[in-house]
Amino acid sequence: MDEMVLIADDDRDIVRFVEVNLRLEGYEVITAHDGQDALVKALEVQPNLILLDVMMPLMDGFEVCTKLRDDGRSAHIPVIMLTAKSLSADKVLGLTAGADDYIIKPFDPMELIARVKTTLRRASEMRSLSPLTGLPGNNRIEHEISHRMELGMPVAVAYADLDNFKSYNDRYGFLRGDEVISLFAQVLRRAALESAGPEGFVGHIGGDDFVALVPPEAAERFATRLIADFDARIPSLYDPEDAVVGAIEIADRQGQMRRFPIVSVSLGIASSARRSFTDHRELVATATELKSVAKRDPRSSYALDRRTDAF
């Protein structure tokens, strides 16, 4: 375990007590004994977690936490407040300052370790999610595909993206473009759930690129539901006059007016059911290749790999 915890408390006995327990669990530990030192070390070292006492000299824990949240270098670092007071007002102040959790002194070492592990796990999960869609990102997608293949589970990888999305952004702006991405994420989740149940998985690579994992036998059902649902809902995100004609007109770089159809979906689907892949990256590469095939159709479409291994 290479996670680092900063302990900030002016009571040196408490610092030693917490440090010993955390090191026994495999955490690296750095310490500070006043608020100013805690802030400096947090910004310099960038720990994975900060245990922050409320009552400290030079700067109290509430002020330190507020400054951490206001600085882009440390805004993401989870903070657990340590307080000798059980008054609800102190808890509220800590949470208002941006703390993720609080522990009341004296605390049991088992409780401390449990809170540390829970807060670190939650922070890790949040870092792996797309802030726009709430979907897992690249690391989790890669892990999910490789994990299923290691277990010998047949899996279909659907690589999806949006066509004519740039023209939509150019016409309406990125804020409305984010609405399209959010809609696409909702439709993907619903299609995966309805076609594959708990075995369905959807991740957000970034921008308008997404990956879905479903059992191979559910792949075409997933694709047809996704396309039908998205095509039915996307016109509602256009201005009425554009939705009626099914297109938008914008000027290109040469100032010439060009006509772009309504945003559509392209899906490339590769499956490990009938072909052997030695690496999950080969499966993803095949899905990517098939997505390019689907893009040849100006409408929403999918391309499914129907090849089998030759024996």
Residues β-bridged to residue 259: 249
Q: Examine residue 106 and say whether the peptide bond preceding it is cis (omega within 30 degrees of 0).
A: yes
* pLDDT of res. 85: 65
**What was the pLDDT predicted at 311?**
46
Beginning with the edge strand found earlier in the chain, give each strand of the sheet holding 79-83 in spatial order: 28-32, 4-8, 49-53, 79-83, 101-104
Residues in the chain where the model's pLDDT stays below 70? 1, 72, 85-97, 126-127, 310-311
**Residue 252 contacts by C-beta under 8 Å, 6 or more apart in sequence?**
258
**DSSP-based helix, strand, coil % in the chain, nearest 5:** 50, 20, 30
Residue 180: C-alpha distances to residues 166, 211, 232, 268 (Å)? 11, 16, 13, 20
Distance of CA 176 to the CA centre of its chain: 20
User: Which has the closest alpha carbon to 32: 59, 54, 63, 8?
Assistant: 8
Question: What is the torsional sign of CA 124, 125, 126, 129?
Answer: positive
- Residue 174 CB partners (closer than 8 Å, separation 6+): none
Q: Which long-range contacts (CB under 8 A, 24 or more apart) does 21-24 make?
A: 21/109, 21/112, 21/113, 22/113, 22/116
pLDDT for residue 284: 93
pLDDT at 32: 95
Q: What is the pTM of this model?
A: 0.65
Provide φ and ψ at 220, rounded to 5°: -70, -35
**Cα(241)–Cα(311) distance, integer angstroms:** 56
Q: What is the CA radius of gyration of the chain?
A: 25
